[in-house]
Every structure is written in C-alpha cells, then in structure tokens.
Structure 1
Amino acid sequence: MSRLTHSASGTRARGAVLVAALCALSSLCAAARAAEPVMKEQDINEQSVTRALEPAQSGGPDDNIVTRGFVLSNKPPAGAPRPAPAKTPSAQILITFATNSATLTDSAKAALDKVAGALQSEKLAAYRFRVEGHADPRGSADANMKLSEDRAAAVVEYLTQKDGIASERLSSVGKGSADPLNRRNPTAPENRRVTIVTVTD
C-alpha cells in the first residue's frame, strides 16, 4: 500500500470516528432534553414552581471575601477558563388546551392558580417571567406558530386578569414546533407544553 493510500485511509478512519462521536453526542443531548422534568397539572404546587423558577442565590466568581484585612478573590487565574454561566431558571409545565385551540381547560386554570401563588411569593415577587408556548409538529409550521403564540398569550391573560399578576412582569412568545422536549416521539404531550422562564437580565 502506498503512503498516499495509507494517508487517505487514515483520514477516512478519523472522519468516521468524528462522525460517530458527534452522533453519540447528539443522542445524549436529545436524551437529556427528553429527561427534563415536565410538571403535569395535577402535580403542580407552589413549592415546586418556586424551586424551578428561583434564580441561584450563591455568589458569582467575581465576588471577593474580606477577612482580617486580606481579600480572598474568587476570580480565576489569568488565562484560566471561566466557569459556565448558570442555567436560566425555567419550569416546563404541561398545561392542557382544548383540541387545536388556545382555550384553557378547567384543570389548566386550577394549575395556573397555583403558578400564580408561586409568582406572588416572597422568593419570586421581584422577578419578571417569559411564558413560551410550544406545539407538536402536526399541522403546518405557520399554524403551529400561531397556535403556540395564542396559547402563551392565553396563559399570560389568565395570570394577569384572573390571578392579579402585574402585566409588566409577564411576556409571551410562541415557539411553534421548533423546540420539542421529546424528539423521539414528536407527538408526545410534553411537546405541547408551556414553559415559564425567569428573566434575569
């Protein structure tokens, strides 16, 4: 075998290994997303929603500690990689709607009353939140986007008008079918969810 042929074979082998590694990583990421907990309406309570939405209270990497005249810095050494930013607090909530509509069911309203209690709690009262609507991929992309927008807006409307959450604390956005939680089963109920995200900026 010539040196050129050997080099080409080695390149193909390395490429195959890289592709396999990327596929494995993609599968792991999909599995991790599918494993994200989704709160079903009957399981929602103020405590679980508060835990999911409350930003971490620990000090950041730039905080300094002063003790007996010395300053102990938590800053990493020059050139050292900075820690990854904390994950934005969010709650995946399986709010149900009438088929192909943005009308909240009675069980959805009862669940949102508990969500409102959490948003009004001492731990969350100072924060704003974004309500993201999701749809499964059945139907056209445009129809799914409109449906997800209407569902997110319906949740915001209920929380503000029925439960008294200040309107400036809530915004809504539709995600269509672009961000399924369960990619292995596109029509799974968790892909027709509402996500509430804490706005920390």
Structure 2
Amino acid sequence: MLLRQGGIAGASLLLATLMLLLQPGQARADEPVDLGQQVPDVQTISEGLFPEDACEELKKQGFKCMGFKPAVRFSLPTATFKIGSAELPDLLRQQLDRFAEVLRGKKGSGRVVRIEGHADASGSDDGNLLLSQKRAEAVRDYLVKLGADPAMLQALGLGSKAPKVGNDPFAAENRRVEIGRQATP
C-alpha cells in the first residue's frame, strides 16, 4: 500500500506529482513554456527547471519514484525588449525575481541553467547576435545580483535565428529570453 511511512502527506505529494505528469496540454519537452505576462509562482519554476527534485521528495517519504517529466524551458516573450536594447523591462524583472528565488536554493548543486537571448530580424546578423548575447548576460547579471550562483548560469545569445513567431521575423515576441536546463536543438 502506498500510504506507508509518508502517511497522508506523502500520498498527497505523490498524487500531486502524478497529476503534474498526466496534465493534458503540457508543452512538449522540446517546446518552451510561454509565460506571457504571467509572473509564475516559485513552485511552477522549480518543478519546470528541476523536476527530478519531486522524485527525491518522494524517496524521502518512503515511496519509489518511477521517473519524472523532463525539465522545460521557459519563454519570457511578452516582457519584450525594446528594439536594439538589452535593458530589462519591468515585467521581465518581476518574472526574474521568482526565478532568482528558486535558483538561490540550488546554489552549489552543480546544475547549469541556460539563459538564451533572442532578437528579432530588425538588425544585421552580427548585430543581432551581439544584442541577444547582451540580453542573456543582462538576465544572468540580474539573477546573480539577487543571489543566484553565477556558476549555475550560462548566458548564450542566439541572434535572430530562432524566432518565436516564424512567419513574422520582426515580431516583438522574438525579442525575448528563454531559461531552461536542456539545450536548444
């Protein structure tokens, strides 16, 4: 029976974990979760970036973990950057405040979180690559300022070669950052 050692609290955690695994409409592992204008809660970020922690919690409760969903990338496009700018918009700062809260708890874990900067197609390829790198670095620097471990954070600019809105390379949503643990293909 599942209710050994962990009791009702353990069963609740198991049920919550199973519900997360079975939720319809979840983004596939290779597609970023679009946060839009939402400021996510800490649990959403933690479960997205570090899903294996739910397994560890189950094991502490005396249950066997049969696997976990893959880590996801979070896309933060609605808090878009101004054209040609790496200055963090206010809404993006609010979203990053929550990411910093999660990342502070993972200091020294050896895990790496990748911050990808993106640009729209309004500049040259070289200019967009440099700008997207500056955006990724601005996010990394902000997270570090809030207590995240700099050794955990890898900033990478991708220029305009991976637009969010492919049929409109100049769309504001293409000026974004994505934060996750798996590499982008």
After TM superposition, the score normalised by the length of structure 2 is 0.63
The structure with the largest alpha-carbon Rg is 1
Which residue identity does 1:154 align to in structure 2?
A
1:97-146: per-residue Cα shift (whole Å, max 9, x none)?
34321111222222211111122346x97322111101111211111111
What is the match of residue 27 of structure 1? none
After TM superposition, the score normalised by the length of structure 1 is 0.59
Secondary structure of 2:139's aligned partner: helix
Contact 2:81–2:176 (CA under 8 A) maintained in structure 1: no
1:57 positional shift: 6.6
Contact 1:38–1:92 (CA under 8 A) maintained in structure 2: yes
Give distance in 1, aligned partners of 2:32 and 2:96: 20
What is the match of residue 156 of structure 1? 140
Query: Quick check: 1:114 aligned with 2:110?
Result: no
Give distance in 2, aligned partners of 1:48 and 1:125: 21
Give distance in 2, aligned partners of 1:114 and 1:58: 19
**What aligned pairs does 1:28-177 form with structure 2 within 5 A after superposition?**
36-56=32-52, 89-94=72-77, 95-121=79-105, 126=109, 127-161=111-145, 163-177=146-160
CA root-mean-square deviation: 3.1
Query: Quick check: 1:193 aligned with 2:176?
Result: yes
Cα 1:119–1:125 change in 2 (3 A) is: farther
Name the structure with the higher strand share. 1
Give distance in 2, aligned partners of 1:155 and 1:36: 17
5+ long unaligned stretches in structure 1 = 1-31, 60-85
Contact 2:132–2:159 (CA under 8 A) maintained in structure 1: yes
Contact 2:74–2:178 (CA under 8 A) maintained in structure 1: yes
| Aligned residues with identical type, % of pairs | 33
Contact 2:41–2:98 (CA under 8 A) maintained in structure 1: yes
Secondary structure of 2:74's aligned partner: strand
Give distance in 2, aligned partners of 1:125 and 1:117: 15
Which residue identity does 2:76 align to in structure 1?
I
Question: How many residue pairs end up in the alignment?
Answer: 141
Which residue identity does 1:182 align to in structure 2?
V
